[in-house]
Amino acid sequence: MSDEWAPGILARARARVTGAVSVPAAEPVPPGLAAVPDGPRTWLLPSWPDGATPAVLEQYELAPMPLDRSGQARRVLAAALRCCWANLDDAPWPGVPAPVPAVLDVYAGMTRGDAALAGRWATGELRRLADTGWLVLDEARGVVRTGPRTALWPHEALGPLRDLLRRMPGPSREALGDE
């Protein structure tokens, strides 16, 4: 039964269930998936036809994938990008690893209120973003890096994001010196 399915369908189903998966770079990329190279491995991500992104859902007036506290998640992503996207003229992927405390510090500078509470919220968002492939989080080493999904961003849409990250204050010295 299973050999009736095309490898592309199986790969897409696996990608939807498990999220982003990385395979050795030598393996063939099934059709319908975008391959994002990452050193000796390759991330397989579901890609949209014709270079579209899920942002087209808005043009079709369809509800996007529901997301709890989307504003907070995106601010944490912006904080992580501020630390990991070192060379802004380059593409955000693959980025450089940055210590998690630096990201939390940038995020705390972006919000008001209790910094410890903001740090806990941001840690949860970091894990969620790492689950969905937007960041690569190494909790054992305490470093974070941009995720393979950022490689799917079209280049022409990155201008405002670059401007934002240039304006955004970076992590303080203590946060960088911590680790």
Partner 1 sequence: MSAVDPEPVPSLDDALEGEAVLGVYRQMFAALARDGGAVVDDPELVDVAETLLAAFADAGEDGLSREQMRYVCRRYPAEVFENRLRVLKGLGAVREVFPKPNQLRYRASFTSVVGLMFVRRMMLDGGQSEMHRLLALEQLNVADPRMTPAQARAGAEGLARAFRLWSVELLTLTNGTIEELREQAPKLWGADEILAGAERLHGAILRRWPELDRTCTELRAALYAYGDASRRAAARLSDSAGLTRNLTLLPPETWRTFARTASRDELAAVLDGFVFDAPAPWHEPSAVVAAVADAPRAVPVRPAPPRPSGPDPGLADRADAGTADADRLREVAEQALRGRDRADVADLLDGDWPAARRLLADLSSAHLHPALPYRLVWGDGLAARPGAAPSWVSPGVFERTDR
Q: Is 145 in the site for partner 1 (CB under 8 A)?
A: no
Check if the beta carbon of residue 67 is closer than 8 Å to that of residue 131: no
d(CA 45, CA 130): 14
Check if the beta carbon of residue 40 is closer than 8 Å to that of residue 25: yes
Q: Is 116 in the site for partner 1 (CB under 8 A)?
A: no
* Interface residue with partner 1, options 10, 86, 164, 174 (CB under 8 A): 164
x/- map, 13-42, partner 1, by CB under 8 A: x--xx-xx----------------------
Residue type present at position 84: C
Q: Is 103 in the site for partner 1 (CB under 8 A)?
A: no
Check if the beta carbon of residue 152 is closer than 8 Å to that of residue 47: yes
**Alpha-helical regions (H) of 56-154:** 56-59, 70-84, 100-110, 115-131
Number of residues binding to partner 1, judged by CB under 8 A:
37
Helix (H) or strand (E) segment spanning residue 71: helix 70-84
Q: Is 51 in the site for partner 1 (CB under 8 A)?
A: no
Q: Is 166 in the site for partner 1 (CB under 8 A)?
A: no
Check if the beta carbon of residue 146 is closer than 8 Å to that of residue 137: no
Stretch near partner 1 under the rule CB under 8 A, chosen from 2-10, 25-33, 46-54, 171-179: 46-54
| Residues near partner 1 (CB under 8 A) | 13, 16-17, 19-20, 46, 53-55, 64-65, 67, 70-75, 77-78, 81, 109-113, 132-134, 149, 153, 157-158, 160-161, 164, 168
